[in-house]
Amino acid sequence: MTVKIASAKLVVIVGLFAVGCSPEFGDEPKSSAEVFSNPIIPGFAPDPSIVRVEDDFYLVNSTFEYFPGIPIYHSNDLVNWELIGHALSEPDTVELQRVQSGSGIHASTIRYHDGTFYIITTNNVDGQMANFIVTATDAAGPWSAPYVLDGAPGIDPSLLFDDDGRAWYVGNHMPPDPQFPGQAEIWLQEVDIEQMRLVGERHFLWRGCCGGVWAEGPHIYKKDGYYYLLISEGGTAYEHAMAVAISKEITGPYQSNPRNPVLSHRQFSYAYPISGVGHADLVELADGRWYSVALGWRLVDGVHGLLGRETFLLPVAWETEPYAWKTEKLTFPVFAPLTGKIELHTPLPFAGTRQNDELAFHDDFDAPTLRHEWNFRRAPERRFHDLQHSQGALRLMLQAGAIGEGEQYSFVGIRQRHFQFEAVTKMYFSPAANGEEAGISALLNDRSAFLLAVGRNDEGDVLQLTHNVNDERTDIAAVKIDADELFLKVTGDYLNYRFFYSEDGSGWKSLGGEIDGKALSPAVVGGFNYTGVYIGLYGSANSAASGNYADFDFFNYESTATSRDDWFHRQMPNENRH
């Protein structure tokens, strides 16, 4: 039965996950070929959760208002990841049609038990939370319709399948007796996994090591007879941190690790190239080694998170307390044991592997369906794209909706994954009425977007560059054109964006000059901004009914950076690069 996810109950401030990666304890890389560069998944990849199934690893991220929701990545080496599908791909099964920017699908957890994959997550419908589970026997899908868990408040749920056959839900909520605003609490309850419902007594476990400021993102692991509760605290900005507690019983009581927090970059300068580290998950390798994935920000000039939060990898060691005076010596995870931070370079987890070249993306639109990299803003209420009418082209039908909060509009885009990039498309479009437009866009979300689009006014067809800010539109530059076929290009160089057009794909002309990318920064745009910049294709009739469309012949995106690590050296120009 199809279950539509509706609102639940509780408003909670959201935080995100971060983890990193490093070598076996004490190993030193011998050459650059034996290390990988962080992040392992660049460009809007927050709240990572990971699971190993034999020699395969699977990882998921948050997607908020974007659809399809919850990308699923696969890897055999923890460093190179392939996007193989999405857990939420049917628009009618999830309430994502009209959510605001920053709402939607929050942190998800992926687990595997007895031949089945489970993803548990939260849908935030503008402040109302619904927690649900989807299942699959193949991580690439198909995935089940959502099973909503009644009576499950809060965000960031996780599952533990214990070795006695019982399954447990762990999440957060705002306690009835908070000591200060924003204090959250981790709670636990058994799940009847066959009936998909919470059963038994609810247990309240921990408010964290640092006062419980936005305690969230909990995961429980069982190791050597102990239960380990790993949580995020401090929010998803500079003060983000990870803490761990231990118990002999899953229901507690839990004892805080005296060395908490176990992972954070809060002690570094705001200018340090990797910030906001947290929201981590752990995975054990087949040979007994452990790694963690975590989110972090790569902030331009220490402020501007254009790419959103991304996924980092780091090693984890387990150390037993050395104190002779303790009768029971406890063992705790140590993240990045040699340095205590997420590093730019870390030895490869598996010898004989290498990190692939930077991600590039090209689509000739010759497949029957859109490739996994493409996203819509919100689940479409009606289909507005077509790959059949014009062979080898993507057709976008113009909808009445335009870029704006909670709107349905014709946009398909991919994540901006690099600070320096170039994206090019070829468009066929002839506006039939004033107000119709189509082109290429760079947007953070509905609150801030740049649009290079062909439209029509009383003087004829024009190519116009505009900036949409909170439903208000500012014209930047325009030029009259006399062509139905046009090449469009957008480039990025950290905080500098440029927009170009050409009639032949080689003689490029700039429109609007250098654009200040701070207008796309989450630090500048108001409200909660949990995503990164997208580059995509757009069409609108701007409040009018229309049967018109735009055809796009291809889309090409690639990095223009000199090297994968340029961003780090730019932020720390005097660091030792040996």
Among residues 439, 407, 400, which one has the least CA distance to residue 540? 400
195: β partners? none
Handedness of CA 555, 502, 558, 412 (dihedral sign): negative
Residue 504: active-site member: no
Catalytic option among 47, 190, 239, 446:
47
Q: How far apart are CA 483 and CA 485, in angstroms?
A: 5
Q: How far apart are CA 298 and CA 273, in angstroms?
A: 6
Q: Is 371 helix (H, G, I), strand (E, B) or coil?
A: coil
Residue 192: active-site member: no
As given in the structure block, the two tokens for residue 262 are: 């176990």
Query: Could you identify the residue written with the tokens 């069409």?
Result: 539
Q: What is the 3-state secondary structure (H, E, C) of 538-563?
A: EEECCCCCCCCEEEEEEEEEEECCCC
Catalytic option among 65, 95, 156, 216:
216
Task: Find the largest Cα–Cα distance for the chain.
Answer: 87
Task: Output the DSSP codes for 66-120.
Answer: EESEEEEEEESSSSS-EEEEEEE--GGGS--SSPPTT-EE---EEEEETTEEEEE
Q: How far apart are CA 408 and CA 405, in angstroms?
A: 9
Q: Which amino acid is at 155?
A: I
Q: How far apart are CA 439 and CA 501, in angstroms?
A: 10
Among residues 217, 321, 219, 237, which one has the least CA distance to residue 277? 237
Cα 94 → chain centroid? 18
Q: What is the 3-state secondary structure (H, E, C) of 454-523?
A: EEEECCEEEEEEEEEECCEEEEEEEEECCCCEEEEEEEEECCEEEEEEECCCCCCEECCCCEEHHHHCCC
Among residues 573, 48, 111, 104, which one has the least CA distance to residue 376? 104
Q: How many Å from the N-terminal Cα to the C-terminal Cα in the chain?
A: 58
The set of catalytic residues is 47, 216
